[in-house]
Structure formats: structure tokens, C-alpha cells
Structure 1
Amino acid sequence: MSKIKITQVRSTIKRSKRQKATITALGLGKINRSKEVTATPQILGMVEKVKHLVRVEEL
């Protein structure tokens, strides 16, 4: 499977608990923090839910 790099670009302040939990589950939590993960359907679904807070790059 391909790998993707997820970078948080916006704050989770004033966001729902669900979105904050998704950001934490992706291994993020601070602006400009990045994580390289395998692009599984579960990860892609989580990214879709917080796409307004993160930037995604294919590796």
C-alpha cells in the first residue's frame, strides 16, 4: 500500500470532541506536526473527517 504524509495545519480549538479525537488518533495534536502513515481505508476515512484541519501529501 502507498504511504501518505499528514500534516496538521489548523488548530483544534472550537472543534467537536470527535474531530479532536480523530486528530489525536492520527498522531497529531499541534500545528505543523507531521506523521507518515500507510494509506489504509481506515486512515483515509479519518483524514476525510478532518480534511479542513490537515494537509495530505502522497509519498
Structure 2
Amino acid sequence: MANISLRIRLFNESYRIAWQRLTMSDEKTAPSDLAVRLSENIQALIKAGYEDVDAIVDETVRRMS
């Protein structure tokens, strides 16, 4: 993975899309446990080398569903 700004963009975009899929809404508030689990899953995938937002979102939603 090239740099930290790319990782941050990947995380932010993946989180936003996965949140929408998991909650089926655009609301920014949610149960804290869901937010924490979502964040941990996305971070783990990025650390594992995932560099595609769609792949990150699909795998995160699969793991959490």
C-alpha cells in the first residue's frame, strides 16, 4: 500500500458504503458496537492488502452479515 492518505481514503469510502449497506440508511448515528466492529473489519482488510473499495465493502458486509 503506497501511503497513509490512500489508506485513509480507502477507509473513509469503504466505511461510508458498508455502513449504508448494513443499516440501509444514510444516518451517521448508530449503535457503537456496530461502528466499532465495522471499523475493525475495514482496518484489518486494508492492513491485509485490500486496495479496492468494492472488495473491502463486499468482504466487510459478508463478514458482518
Q: Shorter-chain TM-score category? A: 0.3 to 0.5
Structure with a larger share of its residues in strand: 1
Higher helix share: 2
Q: TM-score, normalised by structure 1?
A: 0.34
**TM norm structure 2:** 0.32
- Of the two structures, which has the highest relative contact order with CA contacts closer than 8 Å and spacing of 6 or more? 1
